[in-house]
Amino acid sequence: MTQIKNPLELYKLLKKSNCRECRLPSCMAFAVAVIQGQKQLADCPYIDRETLQALGGGIVAGRSSREDEQQQVLARLKQEAGQIDFPAAAARLGVQLRDGRLGINCLGKDFWIDSVGDMWSECHNNPWVLIPLLNYIIHGKGRKLSGEWVAFGELSGAADWNRFFSRRCEEAMGQLADAHAELIFEILHLFGANPAAGVTNADQSLVIFPLPGLPMLINYWAPEDHFASKLNILFDRTATDNLTVESIYLLGRGLVEMFRGLIVKHSRDGKLF
């Protein structure tokens, strides 16, 4: 029996006419609903009998893993991104529009998104980054930066996320910097980071742009004598006008995940610690 685990796999088997006879706005929405256990395959009158028989109970409903959940969110966002007005989005966000595709610079590399929500880029093909990027395109207000740096916990609506951000982003990145300082700062420079002179007294202060309207200031104090190291990440006061708190948290996690992957690949012994 064929087993389908994510909406994209199921979508390929649908008619793709977006006829709405299943009472959902599109075939992609239907695929997501089936994977989430909210709809039955038979609710689409255009699925042929052979496909129904081949799949039988082979749909893995519910959130079976973090990857499946991310794929479902990605599929939904891609569909939403495909429905927005691209010229208006380019003007709102101040980004490129070329051959009907939106061009967004993310960590020093261009991403291109077309009218059905498909994306191309030279790198960063990582759901931790792709989900915030699509949210930015769909919901970002393109607010002008204020120049005022604040901690994550000071951002509007961030109180509930602060503990997670502190542990999984700042502490996790700090541990990687302690073990691989040279490599981490080399990678940050490859991601387009620039020194932020005179903002703090940190040993390293670098500004990176995971998204055009969302700079992050990464400050690192190396361990010294009896003092432990410290790493914090600051944001422009306007950050939550351009991206939701959850997506900002995901971007922080994305950076940590990318660092981990690159350290395993490029460090001398291939070990994180």
Interface residue list for ligand SF4 (CB under 6 A)? 14-15, 17-22, 24, 26-27, 30, 44, 46
Q: How far is the CB of 9 from ligand SF4 (least distance, A)?
A: 14
* Distance separating alpha carbons of residues 171 and 255, to the nearest angstrom: 13
* Distance separating alpha carbons of residues 30 and 267, to the nearest angstrom: 44
Q: How far is the CB of 127 from ligand SF4 (least distance, A)?
A: 24
* Distance separating alpha carbons of residues 109 and 219, to the nearest angstrom: 23
Q: How far is the CB of 212 from ligand SF4 (least distance, A)?
A: 35
Choose between 24 and 206: whose C-beta lies nearer to ligand SF4.
24
Which has the closest alpha carbon to 152: 83, 248, 226? 248
Choose between 19 and 264: whose C-beta lies nearer to ligand SF4.
19
Q: How far is the CB of 57 from ligand SF4 (least distance, A)?
A: 19
Q: Is 28 exposed, middle or buried (0-12, 13-18, 19+ CB in 10 A)?
A: buried
Q: Which token pair is 250?
A: 């995901």
Q: How far is the CB of 55 from ligand SF4 (least distance, A)?
A: 14
Choose between 30 and 152: whose C-beta lies nearer to ligand SF4.
30
Q: How far is the CB of 12 from ligand SF4 (least distance, A)?
A: 12
DSSP state of 267: S
Choose between 38 and 156: whose C-beta lies nearer to ligand SF4.
38
- Helix orientation angle between 127-139 and 86-93, rounded to the nearest 10 degrees: 100
Q: Are the C-beta atoms of 266 and 183 separated by less than 8 Å?
A: yes
Choose between 75 and 102: whose C-beta lies nearer to ligand SF4.
75
| Strands (DSSP E) found in the chain | 96-98, 101-106, 109-113, 119-121, 149-151, 194-195, 204-211, 214-221, 230-236
Q: Which residues contact 131 (CB under 8 A, 6 or more apart)?
A: 70, 73, 74, 77, 247, 250
Choose between 22 and 245: whose C-beta lies nearer to ligand SF4.
22
